[in-house]
Amino acid sequence: MSTRRGRPPKSDDPPSSERLLVAAAEACAELGFERVTLEAIGRRVGVTPAAIYNHFGSKDELLYAAGEHGLAQLTSVLTVTELGNQTVHEIAAAFVGPEMLTTRRLFLELHLAGSRHPSLAAHLDRWHAEWAKVFADLVPASDDPDATVKALFLLLLGLCHIEELSGLPA
């Protein structure tokens, strides 16, 4: 009887990866980037830290992918509205929705940690470049699309703090 080598069957199963991404976002939002561990993430979905390596190469990679997943959720909400070009207001309104709470907290943790972790900062640089292209297609044309996208990124990062401003109705 031969022993199977490599990834276990169904290790590329999208539901498993999806559950890991959700668990990683929740754990990072709750515990913070430095305190979250693969063990804490694995416990949320009932897998060992070693099993997570079947899907992701490191904690940083998993948390980065969770952030990508959150941005994909945001853009999917926007693109199904069939409004053509999105206004910055519509993007911000979608971002402050209750379903984006964990994603907002994750983004905040990733950005703060990026200043202390060069490898994460490199991921975030690529992430900003990739998503700048996506957002450039969503926001109305302007004289300076780069400035509009940078302002949108700053607005979204600021909105990551919305729960801390409980005295201001949104």
- The whole-angstrom separation of Cα 74 and Cα 94 is 7
- The whole-angstrom separation of Cα 61 and Cα 102 is 18
pLDDT in tens, 23-42: 999 999 999 999 999 999 99
Q: Who wins on pLDDT, 148 or 43?
A: 43
pLDDT in tens, 94-109: 888 888 888 889 889 8
Residue 167: pLDDT over 70: no
CB 134 within 8 A of CB 75: yes
The pLDDT assigned to 25 comes to 93
The mean pLDDT value for 113-118 works out to 89
Residue 20: pLDDT over 90: yes
The mean pLDDT value for 76-98 works out to 70
Does the CA dihedral 43-34-108-52 come out positive or negative? negative
Question: Which DSSP category does 4 fall into?
Answer: P
Output phi, psi for 161, to 5 deg. -95, 5
pLDDT in tens, 44-69: 999 999 999 989 999 989 998 998 88
The pLDDT assigned to 141 comes to 67
> What average pLDDT does the chain have?
80
- The whole-angstrom separation of Cα 128 and Cα 5 is 37
Question: Which DSSP category does 73 fall into?
Answer: H
Residues with Cβ within 8 Å of residue 6, at least 6 apart in sequence = none
CB 165 within 8 A of CB 156: no
> Residue holding tokens 């539901």?
15
pTM for the full predicted model: 0.75
- Where residue 121 falls among pLDDT bands split at 50, 70, 90? confident
